[in-house]
Structure 1
Amino acid sequence: MIFRRTALSLLVAAACAPAFAGSVDLTALDDATLSPRFIVTYKAGTAERTQPAARQRSLDAAASRARPQLGARLSAAQGAAALQVKTLRGTVGGHHVVRASQRLDRSQAETLMRAIAAEPNVESVRVDRLMHVAALPNDPVLSTHQMWHYGTGAGGARITSAWGAGASGTGVVVAVIDTGATHHADLEANLLPGYDFISDAFVSHRATDERVPGGWDIGDYSAANECGSGAPASNSSWHGTHVSGTIAEVTNNNAGGAGIAYNAKVVPVRVLGRCGGYTSDINDAIVWAAGGHVEGVPDNPNPAEVINMSLGGAHDCESDTQAAINTAVGLGTVVVVAAGNDNAPVAGHAPASCANVVTVGATGYSGQRASYSNYGAGIDLAAPGGAGTEGNPNGYIWSTLNDGATVPGNDIMAGYTGTSMATPHVVGVVALMQSVAPQPLTPSQVEGLLKATARAFPVKQSQPNGAGLLDAAAAVERARTFGQPIDGIPTSPGTAMLLPAMASGDRALYVIDVPAGKTRIDITTYGGRGEMQLLLGYEMDPLPNQNAGSSVRPGVNQAITVTSPAQGRYYLAVSATQDTTGARLLVKVN
């Protein structure tokens, strides 16, 4: 009986819908019964897309069309006549979120969606889908120890939200250039064959100077004075195992913790042993990990899309290290490095100060700069590294480790702090990004997206710490649509347009068409209150490190000038860094 009534309502709705109706996506219709929110896409170039008054007239007409079909089924307290549909906000890509004034059942929600779609300038209507925390993996350490740095709290990297959006790192290979990896039960299934590049028996704790396949960590322990006069004895750190676990620990197996890109695979590359590691070995490892050829070593059968280097020293970037990085980047590999833990300017540290790398600073539980983290203009963005001041567990980053004092012992989970721990957060997110991107992102595009999507620090940083705090959910969402046809709001050169109010963090994309023979583009925003920034891209959605012009002054008044512009389409990204209202945009193409 219910099925028959539903089928009849579908037939009636179809019969009433005009032939030009926009598409209706009913796949998340149940969510509309909890919150009657819908995402409406208006056709490019229409008034409804850019003018709030025209959009509201269209929504009012849709509500009027729906009322006779809803009738007494609407809330008796409000009545059919009270049903209204209002715009909540615009979204990235030129869509609009709208909401009905009262709750609806499935049939009512569908009727309203079809009424909205019947408006002539509507391209599509879909439910504003709800995501649920129930999708979280069942690994016990995730809920007890890792949520502060994976979750949505003040210092969290919003990894859980990226998981909820379907990103898991499937198909992506990551190389971890470090101490190697142990045979940890909650990590080994996600390891690919690696290599031990240490070419010194003293450093490696092996019998010979020969490099060997495997990349297994057999310990980096040292006795007193072995690493210099007065140097104390030290136990094995199992550092590479901890870093690798943050990236790709086996997940949703009801054991241990979770890895950020838990369906990605890690190639462990051993370069650090007793007393550290040689630059020459590290440089060879960078090239090999990216798929380049290194004499005397079989080529890597699993070239990495992203390399993690949680290592460094207090010196300038040397030319051979820069050359190795350039080779890796030229092969399409993203190189992510730790800023260092000396509470000093990053400019004097390598590889953190090298070009063509993503350099990562560290933050703590509240999003504050960790006191040890290096700082300065060379930091690209920050990620959770643990401040050590919030106690256990919130002062630390939790991942796979080993309890052996010298050689490998038993598998454990343990907490570490450092920019070494912040770096694999970024690397894991890069793997998530690449796994959802329509086509592989270039290293420059990855860096730009990471910085463009970093969220504002929740607290003031004690020193410069990059573009913001890693936001996995935002980075994955931008990666998912990057390179696809760009949908922007049209502009009318020579005519000022009132920009809609924007909340801090909102972003809108505007289209500027430039005919042949033009000599100059002038773009200004002015008036109103708040603060915004502008980025301009030619035939692309602009990024901080890939753009045709930018303006990032305090306040609303921004300006970009392009001389001798190319014929074609420019895209202007307007981002609110504070709540903004009443601003105007004027574009001149001469």
Structure 2
Amino acid sequence: MYQFSRLSACALAAAISVAVLGAADAAGPRFVVRATEAPSSRAAADAMTRRYIVRYRNGTAQRASTLQALGAARTALSRSGIAAAKPGLSVRHLRRLAGGADVIELSRPLDRVSSAALLRTLASDPAVAYAEPDRLLQHTGMAAPSLMPNDPYLAQYQWHLHSPIGGINAPAAWDKSNGAGVVVAVIDTGITDHNDLDGNMLPGYDFISDAFVSRRPTDERVAGAHDYGDWNNDDTQCPLRSSSFHGTHVAGTVAEMTNNGRGMAGVAHGAKVLPVRVLGRCGGYLSDIADAVVWASGGSVPGVPANTNPAEVINMSLGGPGACDVTLQSAIDTAVANGTTVVVAAGNDNDDASGYAPASCNNTITVGATRVTGGRASYSNYGSHVDLSAPGGGGGVDGYDGYVWQALNDSLTAPELGAQVYGGMSGTSMASPHVAGTVALVQSIAPAPLTPAQVEALLKGTARAFPVAIPSATPMGSGILNAKAALNEVVPCQGPDCESSARPIANKMPVGGLSGAIGTELLYSLDVPVGASGLSFMTYGGSGDVSLLVSYGTVPTALAADVRSVRPGNSESARIAVARAGTYYIKVVGVKAFAGVTLEARHN
């Protein structure tokens, strides 16, 4: 995840690691360790800022006219005393955002104290709905299958896709879906040319509105999403650093071309990626990111052509300290209203995600990071805001193969000076696109598009249990992403006789000795006569953990069950107050490996 600072820092988040794998030759692949742990985003939170977002209330003169909005900002500078204390300080109106707020820019940045004074003065104006810094955001990155494609590095390096311990069970999911027909927006640093990615990339757009940040000649937003590199050689603006080409790596996780005899594989390799560039040198502005979210979902943004490829899924591997900004929350709400699922990284500060945005924003799927072992990555944020986890890698902790591997460029500055290679990174940035790619797999085959809320419930409900204990003080959501189980819930069986595999059971006749591994699903059926009452289903005894799902006339799924019981352990109970004559289907699901469990159905 590209970490963003409260204001203008550009240091990467903690636990950032990169290894680079060159093209294979007779001597084997080559590895280069390119980056190590970087300063925490918290340390940069008091940096200077020069841009602010102000939302004027409907019906005010400032809302009706950008000239009036500019005049009000100048008045606020004067009332706050900042203009008198800083002679020559001027302000200009940059743009009006998709949500109706205005972005204003000062001729030079303010320190934390002066910035707070300006915000207080703006907020005291009855015409102002809210005012907040247009802070710079940064990425938080670099911190037995039934179908195995022929990509040469998949089996050896991409444990995160296929490992039964730490992976997401992607190859088994590819039997049902590759994400075809779905668009995934990657809002990040943009994209570089790479022959293992290019075929799945859409044109995209560059939303960066500052020439210093973008490395383009002007402040204008432009078509295309070429990553010019986010290296910085000017420490007066933010710390010195090399280019990350973070967006290329994230896009690779989502949809790197697969089964092409080249390189590595992507989760949803039949989907298309819409690259949206918002992060460059020193990070990216909140206002640019908010507009990018709206545009990527098919919404209208002033001065930007309509998006002809609206995304069903948005991935934001970016974030930083502080509560969710009003501007960002409004943009996310717009995207969700447009039917787009928004997936975000939890952050790399080994802290509660409630103190970071967009991890703490509503209407998002927030993703924590796990290692090869399936345990929490030491850098990953945690807490009640984390919905589920996915592989982020442990980097040097687990050796070179503990990274998450995808396409990359090995230049330290501009991509034109580097080569197309494959790189290993670790961070919650790497975890989030595994989830975004799985959403694409799901939407590609869903009989009807799932709403963002349904997608979230599906992924959380089908996540597999962590294979190692997660301390109660650092919760990591419902479990580890399980692509195969998610697809099985969307299309639980093939053909017209889906229920034919159910084993019949009889009233008040216990069925014992049930056992299975994590994710095992055992299906049973019960024929209920006319006039039956007091219908109930239960499991008990044995070891492990199961859940119980029951539906009338059809196979229950995590998304659709008439009744369910999901208590910890094996003592489950589901009751039907008014029984119908006909067939009930009962599914016993292994939340963990289980053995010796008994199932019983009863009615009068």
| Amino acid aligned to 2:149 | P
| Amino acid aligned to 1:585 | E
1:476 matched residue in structure 2: 487
| Amino acid aligned to 1:442 | T
Equivalent in 365, 368, 379 of residue 361 of structure 1: 368
1-side partners of 2:539 and 2:551: how far apart? Answer: 20
1-side partners of 2:466 and 2:296: how far apart? Answer: 33
1:277 matched residue in structure 2: 284
Retained in 1: the 8 A contact 2:446–2:490?
yes
Residue deviations 1:146-189 (CA, integer Å, cap 9, x gap): 2x2222342122222233x2532222211101111112222122
| Amino acid aligned to 1:465 | M
Sort the Cα spacing of 1:527 and 1:145 in 2 relative to 1 into closer, same or farther, 3 A: closer
Retained in 2: the 8 A contact 1:524–1:557?
no
Sort the Cα spacing of 1:563 and 1:478 in 2 relative to 1 into closer, same or farther, 3 A: closer
2:205 matched residue in structure 1: 195
Residue 319 of structure 2 aligns to a residue in which SS?
A: coil
1:81 matched residue in structure 2: none
Deviation at 1:221? Answer: 2.0
1:167 matched residue in structure 2: 177
1:304 matched residue in structure 2: 311
| Amino acid aligned to 1:507 | E
1:429 matched residue in structure 2: 438
Retained in 2: the 8 A contact 1:197–1:211?
yes
2:232 matched residue in structure 1: 222
Retained in 1: the 8 A contact 2:145–2:169?
no
Q: How many residues align?
A: 452
Sort the Cα spacing of 1:343 and 1:406 in 2 relative to 1 into closer, same or farther, 3 A: same
2-side partners of 1:455 and 1:348: how far apart? Answer: 27
Would you say 1:557 and 2:571 are equivalent positions?
yes
Q: Given the two structures, how large is their TM-score scaled by the length of structure 2? A: 0.66
1-side partners of 2:196 and 2:357: how far apart? Answer: 32
Deviation at 1:321? Answer: 2.3
Residue 400 of structure 2 aligns to a residue in which SS?
A: coil
Retained in 2: the 8 A contact 1:552–1:558?
yes
2:167 matched residue in structure 1: 156
2-side partners of 1:538 and 1:208: how far apart? Answer: 62
| Amino acid aligned to 2:449 | P
Retained in 1: the 8 A contact 2:293–2:331?
yes
Retained in 2: the 8 A contact 1:444–1:545?
no
Equivalent in 515, 524, 541 of residue 502 of structure 1: 515
Retained in 2: the 8 A contact 1:161–1:473?
yes
Which aligned pairs between 1:485-500 and structure 2 lie closer than 5 A? 487=499, 495=508, 497-498=510-511
Sort the Cα spacing of 1:568 and 1:447 in 2 relative to 1 into closer, same or farther, 3 A: farther
Bigger drift between 500-509 and 364-373 goes to: 500-509
Which aligned pairs between 1:105-504 and structure 2 lie closer than 5 A? 136-146=148-158, 148-163=159-174, 165-227=175-237, 231-408=238-415, 409-410=417-418, 411-462=420-471, 463-481=474-492, 487=499, 495=508, 497-498=510-511, 501-504=514-517
Retained in 2: the 8 A contact 1:222–1:234?
yes
Residue 321 of structure 2 aligns to a residue in which SS?
A: coil
Residue deviations 1:28-81 (CA, integer Å, cap 9, x gap): xxxxxxxxxxxxxxxxxxxxxxxxxxxxxxxxxxxxxxxxxxxxxxxxxxxxxx
Q: Given the two structures, how large is their TM-score scaled by the length of structure 1? A: 0.68
Bigger drift between 578-587 and 175-184 goes to: 578-587
| Amino acid aligned to 1:455 | R
Deviation at 1:260? Answer: 2.1
Sort the Cα spacing of 1:546 and 1:298 in 2 relative to 1 into closer, same or farther, 3 A: farther
2:598 matched residue in structure 1: 583
Retained in 2: the 8 A contact 1:168–1:432?
yes
Retained in 1: the 8 A contact 2:294–2:301?
yes
Residue deviations 1:349-400 (CA, integer Å, cap 9, x gap): 2212222222211111121211011112222221111102445431211111
Residue 434 of structure 1 aligns to a residue in which SS?
A: helix
Residue deviations 1:380-433 (CA, integer Å, cap 9, x gap): 221111102445431211111112322223222111100101111122222222
Retained in 2: the 8 A contact 1:525–1:556?
no
* Seq. identity, %: 50
1-side partners of 2:582 and 2:364: how far apart? Answer: 32
Which runs of 5 or more structure 1 residues have no equivalent in the other structure? 1-130
Retained in 2: the 8 A contact 1:190–1:248?
yes
Sort the Cα spacing of 1:493 and 1:150 in 2 relative to 1 into closer, same or farther, 3 A: closer
Residue 359 of structure 1 aligns to a residue in which SS?
A: strand
Deviation at 1:541? Answer: 6.3
RMSD, matched Cα = 3.5
Residue 583 of structure 1 aligns to a residue in which SS?
A: strand
Higher relative contact order (CA 8 A, sep 6+): 2
Structure possessing the higher radius of gyration over alpha carbons: 1
Sort the Cα spacing of 1:255 and 1:536 in 2 relative to 1 into closer, same or farther, 3 A: same
Sort the Cα spacing of 1:199 and 1:572 in 2 relative to 1 into closer, same or farther, 3 A: farther
Deviation at 1:256? Answer: 2.5
Retained in 1: the 8 A contact 2:489–2:558?
no
1:125 matched residue in structure 2: none
Retained in 2: the 8 A contact 1:532–1:556?
yes
Retained in 1: the 8 A contact 2:535–2:579?
no
2-side partners of 1:318 and 1:541: how far apart? Answer: 42
| Amino acid aligned to 2:600 | L
| Amino acid aligned to 1:152 | S
1:78 matched residue in structure 2: none
1:19 matched residue in structure 2: none
2-side partners of 1:516 and 1:321: how far apart? Answer: 55
2:11 matched residue in structure 1: none
